Amino acid sequence: MTVVRFTDGLVSVDISVAGAQAVPGTRLRDTYLEDIRRLTLGLGQAKGDSLYLGPVELLRFGRPKVTRNAVQWPIEGGIAARRPGGTFRIESARGRLVASVEGYRPLLPLALYAVTQLPVHRLITRLYLLRVRGREPAPGIPAEPRDRMRAAAVDLAFCATLAGLTGRRRKLHVLLGVAAAYHVACWSISGRTLGGLVLRQRVVAVDGSRPSIGQSVVRLLASPIAWAVRRPIHDGVAGTDVITD
C-alpha cells in the first residue's frame, strides 16, 4: 500500500507491506543500504550514509537513529533534495513493514517529480520491503508448475490472436508489444490473465497484495530468463508468487 501527500511543496510518502515478522531496527538499517545496489542492478549504491547514482550523490543522510524496531535518517542534502530537511524512516510494527518519507522537498518540480523520481522510489522501496518480509507466511497455495505452463500457453495463444487482429501477423514486435501490455495490465489490475482465469490462479505480491505496475514490469522483463533456466526467478526478482484460487 502506498500513500502520497503533497503539502506546501513538501512530499510525504508511506509505503507498507503486510504479514511481516518483527524486524530489529539494526537489521533495517543495515539491509536497506546493502540492498540498494542489488535492487538497482548496481546503478545505485550506498557510501556511508549517502545514496549515489554512479558518482552523483543523490541523497545525503545524517546519523541514523535506531530503536528496537525502527531506523530513521534525517535528510541533509544531495542533488535530489532542494534543501536539507525531512526524514526517511523504516519501521516494523503491528505485522507490517512501513517505509516513510516525511517533509522532503525534492529538487524537481512536483509535477515532474511525481512521474519520474516518485515511481522509482516506490518500486525500489516496495521491492526492499518485500525482500525483508520474505515469503513466509506464504500468501496462498502455490500453483503447480504444470498449471503455470498451461496458463502461459493460453495467454500466448490469446496474445497471438490479438496481434493477428492488427493485420500484421508476421511482425514480431507487434506480438511482443501486445503481450507486454496485456500481462502488465492484467497482473497490475487483478493478478489474473485469461490463462489464470482458466487454470484458477493469479499473481500476487508475496504479502498477498496486488502487484504494483513496477513489480509487473520487473516480472515481465525477467520472464525470458526464467523460461531459459526453467525456474521462476522472475517471481524472486519482482517479489511475487503465483497462487491457486
SS (H, E, C) 172-227: HHHHHHHHHHHHHHHHHHCCCCHHHHHHCEEEEECCCCCCCHHHHHHHHHHHHHHH
Backbone angles phi, psi at 112, to 5 degrees: -75, -40
Whose cell is 535530489? That residue is 80
Three cell numbers written together for 10: 513538501
- Weakest mean pLDDT among 34-48, 105-119, 128-142: 34-48
- How far apart, in whole angstroms, are the C-alpha atoms of residue 9 and residue 106? 8
Reported as a single tens digit per residue, the pLDDT across 52-77 is 998 999 999 999 999 999 999 999 99
Q: Pick from 207, 210, 217: which is nearest to 238 by CA?
A: 217
Sequence letter at residue 125: T
At 21 the pLDDT is 86
Q: What's the mean pLDDT when you consider all of the chain?
A: 93
At 167 the pLDDT is 64
At 132 the pLDDT is 94
Residue 80 has pLDDT above 90, yes or no: yes
Residue 169 has pLDDT above 80, yes or no: no
Q: Are residues 15 and 122 in contact, defined by beta-carbon separation less than 8 angstroms?
A: yes
Residues in the chain: 245
Spell out the domains of the chain, with CATH numbers in brackets: 2-133 (3.30.530), 145-244 (no CATH)
At 52 the pLDDT is 93
At 96 the pLDDT is 95
Quickly count helices (H) and strands (E) in the chain: 8, 11
Whose cell is 511525481? That residue is 114
Share of the chain above pLDDT 90, in %: 78
Whose cell is 508475496? That residue is 206
Average pLDDT rounded to a whole number, residues 121-130: 96
pLDDT confidence band for 46 (50 / 70 / 90):
confident
Average pLDDT rounded to a whole number, residues 66-95: 95
At 47 the pLDDT is 86
At 170 the pLDDT is 63
Residue 228 has pLDDT above 70, yes or no: yes
Reported as a single tens digit per residue, the pLDDT across 157-168 is 999 988 887 765
Cα 104 to Cα 4, 175, 189, distances in angstroms: 12, 42, 30
Strand partners, 52: 45, 57
